[in-house]
């Protein structure tokens, strides 16, 4: 068991090395040659993604003396996070360049964010979870504050840092309770210890409250959502995307690692909490989003609502039921988060594309008449909005479908009621997504709007992103099966 | 690729092509591509009519492939006597709509034509789908193009109408989605509609499912009291949008009753039939009266649609061969007639830019050809024998008499109210002296408009005089359905 098993951490090693290389190389390039750094970063991401794909079929060998686990779920999530990062950096490059933020730090920090995410997805130890989380969060705080002379961004960074530190404290405190009760930091050992039934239940329950609170902060669900609107709004859009994109995979991964793999013995406790968090998020996220006029803020509240929906997939009681039905429920959440990040990438990518020097296209009204000004982009945005609203044949519908399916197949009345409630809340949600489409197509373009110009490469990437939302909607089977296999392996190992 | 797949995907492919390469600079080419695409889509549906075997109630032209294996969702298509006619009807009305928008739509032509073609493919998909998720995908997918059509080319209150249309219909169908999930669970992991037909269900579950389906389909039909989106949507939609809404989209809901409610939850259907019959009669009588007082021609025809659809649901829920066949005939006939009536209003609107009845008067003096056709459609709308409008209403009334004389008597008031509101409108718009200078300056139909309206007139008359080919196709399937509904399905 306690071997080093270097191969399974190959992606992380490559990423760490390349992050250092990029940092050093950047010292020698001038501002005009910054392309070198950009391409080097993207090349490292591609290599890391490839390594994760190569390691994907692994079934749970442990490595680094049981600090990390290499299973399909971890590699799949890391792979998706890396791809999300490739898109993020590609969308961000012209945006940060025009705002004088295109320094080497941007790339190095982005790589450290990804490294933190990968440490979390592979964590097999409470401390690894925490280390990955801190690596990611600290890099993100710095990125948010990258625009030093910008008051709103600095304020957002401050808020993010204070609240994020508080959340980390919660999580760490909860984990220390777990350690105190079970006497181990290794997740599978904690699972075994709880399974014996000889552990003091009160300490465990007390600890699990803090763990869930810490996770809820990271996922951004009510009542731990306060930072989301301010940070999404205040951070430069490129960083907003970096916060709202790839890190969602990490948040999901540690939720599964801690709650399902480590603490599934306490499932009745944490599932109740998740139900409350979901309901509160669905209500607040969807209702508050209606009132927003700022597109980034609206998407922030929409994130809260979407995360509430995603958490529903983790709530069905599976204790005593078979692993298959558990995999069914949890994998629907995984599918949901993958598709959600895919759409988020597109929406924020589009906001960046429409912004220019000295003009942030972040009010909903800035999209007015986009259907005439830039039909292709409006088309992509329409697909994304309908997908978020959960209208078939777009991928967002199948994500909602699989969550609802997980709830209804429990055949318990409270869960069916929960499904009906979630459905009604997504009806409320569809209103503000529709409003974006309305502004783009039904409203005439405002006078004096700058012409939409964009690099061909970024536009092509955005078109691919939009097409993926549609194609995955028409053929969602492959991705669903992949999520299911990944979760199934994680549960049976 | 099978025939049904071709009927679904050909118009969608043409629509996507128009989105991709069309712009207002090549509007002329866009129109022609749209027309050719819609005609081809109509042609591929014709082998359905010639190749259909009317002696069996089983599904024909079936296609069945795995689609989403994770949930055992299948790409399962097929038509029986109940659904077959709606496929060519949809394709036919799309040709009409493309022609109707030929000159009127001058801005964003590609978006307009593309949206209608995609919509057409999706609606055909609804009629052919035999898998729950596939059905839902097509059923909901239709909202996207229709939302755009109403919102972009509609009248002054188009945004309000588009939202109301979208949110009303979405609200209903989301509840149906939960019902589909429940059936999936009950049938041990199958989304196959035909499997669900055989699935035994407890009484309580049946009632819940019945109301979940009712939520989705009643909004779409629309039944009183959830019909309020329809007049708004109709009034604000462009002519083509109104035609498609009235002619096809309302039928999706009524069709849903026959494909889902009746066969899947027969016991609940029988138990709650009184409820549907009551709502239907309210639609027939109350909405008929509401139609009488409208000043806006489009609103009048919209309310008339609600009343006519009330007849359809009434026919379905008296559980007799005649009632169900009558309802189906009424659906097809109403497709032609309401489409034609909206096109007639479009003809006037394009010239005068008003839908108010009071803006017209004596149109027959300046547009004799048009007035002849318009009066024919109006007569059909009030159910004159010899037109298609008569056949369906007559069948439903005869079917209802067997159940209860008084129900039939109430239903038959539609003939009075229908004649009342339609003929009164005809009188005020078409007859009398020329009302104003605008009417005096009207030019009669051009060749394109003449062609569109005459084709519809032929359809209306042909169905009225010789409906046998249509009812023959339905008979066996309807008979089987009635037999199926009569048997209890409790476990």
Structure tokens at A299: 């998407």
- B175 inside 8 A of chain A by CB: yes
Residue A421: predicted pLDDT: 92
Mean pLDDT of A91-111: 86
Q: Is residue B112 scored above 60 in pLDDT?
A: yes
pLDDT digits (tens, 9 = 90+) for B385-394: 888 888 888 8
The pLDDT value given to residue B386: 85
Contacts of B416 (CB under 8 A, 6+ apart): none
Residue with the larger pLDDT of the pair A84 and B161: A84
| Model confidence band, residue A115 (pLDDT cutoffs 50, 70, 90) | very high
Q: Report the C-alpha gap between B358 and B354 in whole angstroms.
A: 9
Rounded Cα gap, residues B382 and B464, in angstroms: 13
The helix (run of H) or strand (run of E) holding residue A69 is: strand A68-69
3 state SS for A268-325: HHHHHHHHHHHHHHHHHHHHHHHCCCEHHHHHHHHHHHHHHHHHHCCCCCCCCCCHHH
Note whether A252 and A337 are within 8 A (CB): yes
Contacts of B313 (CB under 8 A, 6+ apart): B221, B223, B254, B257, B276, B279, B280, B283, B327
DSSP state of A355: -
Residues in A lying within 8 Å of B, measured between beta carbons: 371-372, 375, 379, 382, 386, 391-393, 397-398, 401-402, 404-405, 407-409, 411, 416, 419-420, 423-424, 426-427, 430-431, 434, 437-438, 441-442, 475-477, 480-481, 484
- Please report the pLDDT score of residue B407 as a whole number: 86
Q: With contacts defined as CB-CB under 8 Å, which chain A residues touch B133?
A: 401
SS (H, E, C) A42-65: HHHHHHHHHHHHHHCCCCCCEECC
- pLDDT (average), residues A146-160: 87
* Total length of chain A: 493
Longest dimension (CA), chain B: 71
Q: What is the pTM of this model?
A: 0.91
Lowest mean pLDDT among A299-313, A334-348, B309-323: B309-323
Mean pLDDT of the A192-200 span: 84
β-bridge pairing A68-69 and B60-68: unpaired
Task: Retrieve residue A295's tokens.
Answer: 């597109």
Give yes or no for B86 touching A (CB within 8 A): no
CB B314 within 8 A of CB B280: yes
Q: CA-CA distance, B210 to B68, in Å (whole number)?
A: 26
pLDDT tens sequence across A463-477: 899 999 999 988 888
Beta carbons of B454 and B377 less than 8 angstroms apart: no
DSSP A125: B
**What burial letters (b/e) apply to A144-172, b meaning 16+ CB within 10 Å?**
bbbbeebeebbebbebbbebbeebbebbb
Tokens (6 digits) for A46? 């591609």
User: Is the model's pLDDT at A319 over the cut of 60?
Assistant: no
Q: What confidence tens digit (pLDDT) does each residue in B147-190 have?
A: 888 888 877 888 888 888 888 888 888 888 888 988 888 888 88
Percent of chain B with pLDDT over 70: 100
Report the percentage of chain A scoring pLDDT > 90: 44
Contact B68 A442 (CB under 8 A): no
Q: What is the pLDDT of residue A133?
A: 93
Indicate the pLDDT class of residue A60, thresholds 50, 70 and 90. Answer: low
Task: Name residues whose C-beta falls within 8 Å of residue A394's C-beta, 6 or more positions apart in sequence.
Answer: A383, A386, A387, A469, A470, A473
Cβ count within 10 A of residue B484: 15
Distance from CA of A290 to the nearest CA of B (A): 14
Q: Which tokens belong to A202?
A: 């009160």
Q: How far is CA A140 from CA A157, A479, B89, in A?
A: 9, 29, 58
Distance (Å, whole) CA B262 – CA B254? 11
The pLDDT tens digits of the residues spanning B246-261 come to 888 889 989 999 999 8
- Chain position carrying tokens 């009030």: B382
Q: Tell me: pLDDT of B19 over 70.
A: yes
Each residue's pLDDT tens digit, B52-109: 888 888 888 888 888 888 888 889 999 888 888 899 999 999 998 888 888 887 788 8
- For residue A27, the model assigns a pLDDT of 87
Instruction: Answer yes or no: are the C-beta atoms of B247 and B319 closer than 8 Å.
Output: no
Q: What is the pLDDT of residue B242?
A: 86
| Helix (H) or strand (E) segment spanning residue A68 | strand A68-69
User: Which run of H or E residues covers position A221?
Assistant: none
Tell me if A473 sits within 8 A of A402, measured CB to CB.
no
Residues linked to residue A356 through DSSP beta bridges, in sequence order: A359
Task: Check: CB of residue B89 under 8 Å from CB of residue B126.
Answer: no
pLDDT digits (tens, 9 = 90+) for B425-484: 888 888 888 878 877 888 888 888 888 899 899 999 998 888 888 888 888 888 888 888
CA separation for the pair A299, A304 (Å, rounded): 9
Average pLDDT over residues A272-280: 92
Q: Is the sign of the CA dihedral A134, A135, A139, A142 positive or negative?
A: positive
- Shortest CA distance to A380 belongs to which of A319, A325, A271, A460? A460
Using an 8 Å CB-CB cutoff, list chain B residues near A392.
136-138, 140-141
Q: What mean pLDDT comes out for the span B287-294?
A: 88
Average pLDDT, stretch B406-433? 86
- pLDDT at A449 > cutoff 70: no
Q: Compute the distance between CA of residue B390 and CA of residue B393 in angstroms, rounded to an integer.
A: 5
Average confidence (pLDDT) over A53-58: 82
Q: List chain B residues with CB under 8 Å of A402.
A: 70-71
User: Helices H, strands E: what count in chain A?
Assistant: 20, 2
Name which of B23, B106, B181, B182 to mutate to probe chain A: the one with the most chain A Cβ atoms within 10 A of its Cβ: B181
Q: How many CB pairs under 8 A join A and B?
A: 101
Average pLDDT over chain A, rounded to whole?
Answer: 88
Q: State the residue for tokens 């239709």.
A: B142
Q: Report the residue of chain B nearest A382, measured CA to CA.
A: B144
Its sign, for the CA torsion B155, B15, A438, B122, is: positive
Are the C-beta atoms of residues B215 and B175 closer than 8 Å to each other?
yes
pLDDT tier for residue A358 given thresholds of 50, 70 and 90: low
More confident residue, A49 or B240: A49
Spatial separation of the C-alpha atoms in residues A89 and A241, rounded to whole Å: 9
DSSP state of A256: I
In contact, B113 and B34? CB cutoff 8 Å: yes
Using CB atoms within 10 Å of the CB of residue A77, give its burial: 0 to 12 exposed, 13 to 18 middle, 19+ buried: buried
Amino acid A174: pLDDT: 93
State the average pLDDT for chain B.
87
| Chain B contact set for A409 (CB, 8 A) | 181, 184-185
Strand-pairing partners, residue B65, are B75
Average pLDDT of the residues in A15-23: 93
Q: Which of A331, A114, A315 is nearest to A221 (CA)?
A: A315
Q: Is B160 on the interface with A (CB under 8 A)?
A: no
Distance CA B129, CA B4 (A): 10
Min distance B225 CA to chain A CA atoms (Å):
20
Task: Indicate yes or no: CB of B175 within 8 angstroms of CB of A409.
Answer: no
A122-141 per-position pLDDT tens digit: 999 999 999 999 999 999 99
B126 — contact with chain A (CB < 8 Å)? no
Residues contacting A294, CB < 8 A, separation 6+: A233, A362, A363, A364
Q: Answer whether residue B402 shows pLDDT above 90.
A: no
């Amino acid at each position: 068991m306690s071997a080093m098993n270097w191969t399974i951490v190959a992606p992380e090693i490559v990423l760490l090395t390349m992050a250092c290389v990029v940092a050093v190389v950047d010292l020698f390039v001038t501002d005009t040659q910054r392309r070198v750094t950009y391409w080097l970063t993207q090349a490292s991401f591609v290599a890391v993604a490839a390594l994760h794909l190569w390691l994907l079929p692994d079934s749970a060998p442990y490595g680094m003396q049981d600090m990390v686990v290499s299973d399909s779920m971890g590699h799949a999530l890391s792979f998706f996070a890396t791809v999300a990062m490739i898109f993020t950096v590609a969308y961000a490059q012209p945006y940060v360049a025009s705002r004088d933020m295109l320094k080497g730090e941007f790339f190095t920090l982005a790589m450290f964010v990804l490294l933190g995410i990968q440490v979390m997805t592979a964590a097999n130890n409470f401390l690894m979870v925490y280390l990955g989380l801190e690596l990611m969060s600290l890099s993100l705080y710095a990125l948010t504050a990258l625009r030093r002379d910008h008051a709103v961004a600095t304020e957002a960074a401050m808020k993010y840092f204070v609240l994020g530190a508080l959340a980390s404290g919660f999580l760490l405190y909860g984990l220390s309770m777990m350690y105190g009760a079970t006497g181990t930091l290794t997740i599978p050992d904690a699972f075994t210890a709880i399974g014996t039934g000889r552990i003091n239940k009160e300490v465990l329950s007390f600890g699990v409250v803090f763990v869930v609170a810490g996770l809820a902060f990271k996922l951004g669900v009510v009542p731990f959502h306060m930072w989301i609107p301010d940070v999404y709004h205040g951070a430069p859009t490129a960083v907003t995307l970096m916060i709202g994109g790839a890190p969602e995979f990490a948040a999901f991964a540690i939720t599964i690692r801690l709650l399902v793999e480590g603490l599934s013995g306490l499932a009745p406790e944490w599932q109740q909490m998740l139900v409350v968090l979901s309901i509160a998020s669905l209500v607040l996220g969807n209702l508050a989003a209606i009132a927003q006029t700022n597109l980034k803020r609206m998407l922030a509240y929409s994130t809260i609502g979407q995360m509430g929906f995603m958490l529903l997939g983790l709530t069905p009681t599976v204790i005593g039921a078979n692993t298959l039905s558990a995999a069914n429920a949890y994998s629907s959440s995984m599918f949901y988060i993958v598709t959600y990040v895919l759409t988020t990438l597109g929406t924020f990518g589009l906001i960046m594309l429409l912004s220019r020097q000295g003009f942030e296209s972040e009010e909903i009204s800035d999209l007015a008449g986009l259907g005439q000004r830039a039909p292709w982009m409006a088309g992509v945005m329409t697909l994304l909005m309908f997908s978020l609203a959960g209208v078939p044949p777009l991928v967002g519908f199948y994500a909602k479908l699989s969550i609802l399916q997980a709830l209804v197949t429990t055949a318990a009345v409270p869960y069916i009621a929960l499904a009906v409630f979630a459905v009604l809340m997504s009806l409320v949600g569809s209103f503000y997504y529709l409003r974006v489409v309305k502004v783009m197509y039904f409203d005439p373009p405002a006078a004096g709007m700058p012409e939409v110009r964009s690099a061909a490469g970024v536009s092509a990437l955005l078109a691919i992103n939009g097409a993926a939302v549609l194609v995955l909607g028409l053929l969602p089977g492959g991705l669903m099966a992949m999520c299911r296999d990944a979760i199934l392996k994680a549960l049976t190992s | 690729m099978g025939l049904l797949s071709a009927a679904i995907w050909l118009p969608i492919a043409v629509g996507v092509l128009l989105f991709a390469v069309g712009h207002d600079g090549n509007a002329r080419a866009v129109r022609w591509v749209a027309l050719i695409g819609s005609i081809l889509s109509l042609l591929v549906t014709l082998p359905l009519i010639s190749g259909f075997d009317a002696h069996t109630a089983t599904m024909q032209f079936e296609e069945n492939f795995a689609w989403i294996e994770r949930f055992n969702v299948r790409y399962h298509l097929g038509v029986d006597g109940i659904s077959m006619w709606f496929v060519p009807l949809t394709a036919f009305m799309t040709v009409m709509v493309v022609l109707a928008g030929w000159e009127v739509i001058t801005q964003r032509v590609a978006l307009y034509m593309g949206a209608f073609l995609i919509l057409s493919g999706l609606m055909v998909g609804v009629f052919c789908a035999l898998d729950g998720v596939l059905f839902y995908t097509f059923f909901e997918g239709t909202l996207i193009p229709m939302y755009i059509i109403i919102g972009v080319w509609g009248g002054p209150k188009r945004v309000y109408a588009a939202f109301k249309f979208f949110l009303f219909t979405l609200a209903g169908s989301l509840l149906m989605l939960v019902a589909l999930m429940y059936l999936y669970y009950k049938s041990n992991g199958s989304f196959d509609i035909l499997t669900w037909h055989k699935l035994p269900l407890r009484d309580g579950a049946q009632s819940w499912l019945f109301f979940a389906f009712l939520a989705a389909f009643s909004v779409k039909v629309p039944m009183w009291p959830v019909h309020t989106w329809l007049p708004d949507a109709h009034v604000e939609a462009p002519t083509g949008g109104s035609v498609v809404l009235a002619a096809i989209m309302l039928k999706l809901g009524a069709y849903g009753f026959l494909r889902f409610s009746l066969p899947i939850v027969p016991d609940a259907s029988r138990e709650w039939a009184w409820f549907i019959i009551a709502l239907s009669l309210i639609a027939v009588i109350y909405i008929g009266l509401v139609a009488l007082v409208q000043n806006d021609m489009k609103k009048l025809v919209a309310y008339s649609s609600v009343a006519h659809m009330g007849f359809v649901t009434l026919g379905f829920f008296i559980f007799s061969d005649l009632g169900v066949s009558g309802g189906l005939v009424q659906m097809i006939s109403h497709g032609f007639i309401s489409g034609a009536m909206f096109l007639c209003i479009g003809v006037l609107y394009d010239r005068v830019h008003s839908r108010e009845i009071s803006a017209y008067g004596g149109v027959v003096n300046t547009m004799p050809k048009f007035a002849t056709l318009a009066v024919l459609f109006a007569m059909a709308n009030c159910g004159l024998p010899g037109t298609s409008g008569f056949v369906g209403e007559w069948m439903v009334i005869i079917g209802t008499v067997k159940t209860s004389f008084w129900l039939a008597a109430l239903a038959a008031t539609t003939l009075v109210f229908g004649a009342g509101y339609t003929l009164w409108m005809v009188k005020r718009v078409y007859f009398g002296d020329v009302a104003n200078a605008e009417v005096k300056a009207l030019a009669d139909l051009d060749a394109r408009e003449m062609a569109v309206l005459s084709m519809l007139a032929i359809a209306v008359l042909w169905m009225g005089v010789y409906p046998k080919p249509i009812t023959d196709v339905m008979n066996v399937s309807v008979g089987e359905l009635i037999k199926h509904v009569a048997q209890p399905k409790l476990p």
